[in-house]
Amino acid sequence: MSEHKNPYPGENNTGHFWDDENDVRELNNRPPRWYMQAMAVSILAVIIYSFYYPSIPWFGDHYKGSAGWTQVGEMKESVAELEAYREKKFAATEQAIADSSLEDIVRDDELRTYAVKTAKVLFGDNCAACHGAGGQGNAGFPVLADDDWLFGGTLAKIEQSVTNGRKGNMPARMLGITDAQADELATFLIETGKGEAGNPNPASKALYLSKGCIGCHGPTLKGNQMLGAANLSDGIYRFAADDQHASVVRTITHGVNQGHDPLTQDAVMPAFGNSKVIDAVQLKKLVVYVHQLGGGVPVAPAAKKAQVSNDPMYTPVAAASDSFADVIAAAEANYKKNLAQNAAWRDTGKMIKEAKKTKDAALAKIANTQAVNALRQASMALTASPTF
Ligand code: HEC
Ligand code: HEC
């Protein structure tokens, strides 16, 4: 850049010339009109914007804006929109879960998958505090992910557990058990629970039998799911402890859920049947979820609907009499329907031909029976439930 005396005094220039020939000069014209107008519009926009939306900070707060818009409000609106969308999208599936039996939900891949996926969060919110994430159990709370059930692992039993809650009951010091006897019983149970590796004293079995344990835990120590009495033969301890022997002694001397005894083992499963946090559909999902965590008693496949279609295409033609002519006529009519449905059995046609040649009434009858059976089969394939 170089500066010179202004050689163009009549011109509205600033005196800045940008090259030696003075071809490039800085003038002092007004900016173009469109430019000034755009600026005016922008200023106006800022004023309106500042008035409309939250803007100017003051005194530890800020001007809230005339529109009442907030970022949090906008987020809430979006979330509501999303939820409405989800509700619409999954309404049919939710309804199907509401309308289906637990067995049918488990049998249906789509419903089961949906129930399990949506129940995972419900389980985390409502059950995991006691049963552990994924039902792995917590000290003092039963594992739901194994096949060692207190009350039973069928869908119906699990539903009962969740709906009505559970509260096992074991009296303290059955029939006046002494400390020494409690100790002996604990040793006996723990050794029995070790299976092959264990070394239970056979003489202690008499004590077990004489103190009424058998009434709930059974003669083979396998427990009783009607009463929620634990299986004592499997070495799985619900009241697990570092010192398992001491814990079993405690259970024997203070019982389970004996409210008056401060050392009793507490084991209360709350009822979720009338809960405000879980509705009926959610409860179903949770039951299906727990059932598939592991150890759920498998659900039998649905019985096939052996219903026959009413379509005349599938209705067999009956032979008017047992005469060769009538039977072969029926066989031919039925075989024609077989062919029309692509359901013909391979040798029916051959049999009909052969029977016609030999006038063999018995063969005609077999051919007809085959044609009728093929019709039934085609009809059943048509009406059988497609999901299983
Ligand atoms: C306050 C703790 C607690 C919460 C919360 C809880 N449970 Fe339980 N649950 C228990 C206890 C304790 C038992 C065992 C009761 C007994 O032994 O009498 C149990 C038992 C069960 C059983 C029976 C297990 C068996 O072996 O037969 C099922 C099934 C079950 N709970 C499912 C659930 C589900 C699903 C939820 C959530 C909706 C849930 N529980 C929430 C404490 C809880
Ligand atoms: C009235 C029924 C009843 C009788 C009788 C009974 N129990 Fe129990 N027992 C239970 C119930 C219910 C539980 C709790 C199961 C649970 O909630 O995990 C239990 C739990 C136990 C446990 C804890 C198991 C574990 O997994 O931690 C032991 C050990 C036990 N009983 C031993 C005995 C012995 C020994 C006797 C006899 C002196 C006896 N019980 C008599 C009902 C009974």
pLDDT in tens, 168-215: 999 999 999 999 999 999 999 999 999 899 999 999 999 999 999 999
Q: Which H or E run contains 207?
A: helix 204-210
* Phi, psi of 189, deg, nearest 5: -65, -45
Q: How confident is the model at residue 387 (pLDDT cuts 50, 70, 90)?
A: very low
* Chain centre to alpha carbon of residue 250: 38
Beta bridge partners of 265: 256
d(CA 330, CA 323): 11
What is the pLDDT at residue 269? 93
C-alpha of residue 217 to centroid of ligand 2, in Å: 7
C-alpha of residue 269 to centroid of ligand 1, in Å: 4
Could you give the C-alpha distances from 238 to 2, 100, 125, 231, in angstroms and in order?
94, 33, 22, 10
Higher pLDDT, 106 or 308: 106
Beta bridge partners of 369: none
Q: How confident is the model at residue 385 (pLDDT cuts 50, 70, 90)?
A: very low
Nearest residue by C-alpha to atom 5 in ligand 2: 213
Instruction: Identify the top-confidence range among 12-26, 97-111, 311-325.
Output: 97-111
Per-residue pLDDT for 2 more than 60?
Answer: no
Per-residue pLDDT for 308 more than 70?
Answer: no
What is the pLDDT at residue 105? 95
C-alpha of residue 234 to centroid of ligand 2, in Å: 13
Q: How confident is the model at residue 313 (pLDDT cuts 50, 70, 90)?
A: confident
Taken in order 159, 160, 163, 166, the sign of the CA dihedral is negative
Q: Is the CB of 239 under 6 A from ligand 2?
A: yes
Give the ligand at the shortest distance from the Cα of 169. 2
C-alpha of residue 238 to centroid of ligand 2, in Å: 10
What is the pLDDT at residue 42? 97
d(CA 195, CA 186): 15
Nearest residue by C-alpha to atom 39 in ligand 1: 127
Per the document, the length of the chain is 388
Among 122, 138, 216, 269, residue to substitute to test ligand 1 (most atoms within 8 Å of Cβ)? 269
Query: Domains plus CATH for the chain?
Result: 90-167+270-302 (1.10.760.10), 169-266 (1.10.760.10), 312-383 (no CATH)
Q: Which residues of 256-280 are buried (b: 16+ CB within 10 A; e: fewer)?
A: bbbeeeeebbebebeebeeeeebee
How does DSSP assign 252-296, residue by residue?
A: HHH-BS-TT-TTSBP-EEPP-TT-SSS-HHHHHHHHHHHHHHTTP
Q: Which tokens hold the place of 246?
A: 């001491």
Could you count the other beta carbons within 10 Å of the beta carbon of residue 337?
21
Residue carrying the six token digits 């039925």: 334
Per-residue pLDDT for 381 more than 70?
Answer: no
Q: Is the CB of 154 under 6 A from ligand 1?
A: no
Beta bridge partners of 268: 167
In ligand 1, the atom with minimum distance to the C-alpha of 169 is 18
Instruction: Label residue 92 exposed, middle or buried (CB < 10 Å: 0-12, 13-18, 19+).
Output: exposed
Q: Is the CB of 120 under 6 A from ligand 1?
A: no
Q: Which of 153, 315, 331, 320 is nearest to 228 (CA)?
A: 153
Evaluate whether 330 touches 318 at the Cβ level (below 8 Å).
yes
Give the ligand at the shortest distance from the Cα of 241. 2
Instruction: Label residue 315 exposed, middle or buried (CB < 10 Å: 0-12, 13-18, 19+).
Output: middle
Mean pLDDT value across residues 154-162:
95
Q: What is the DSSP letter of 30?
A: P
C-alpha of residue 171 to centroid of ligand 2, in Å: 8
Higher pLDDT, 341 or 249: 249
Mean pLDDT value across residues 141-163:
92
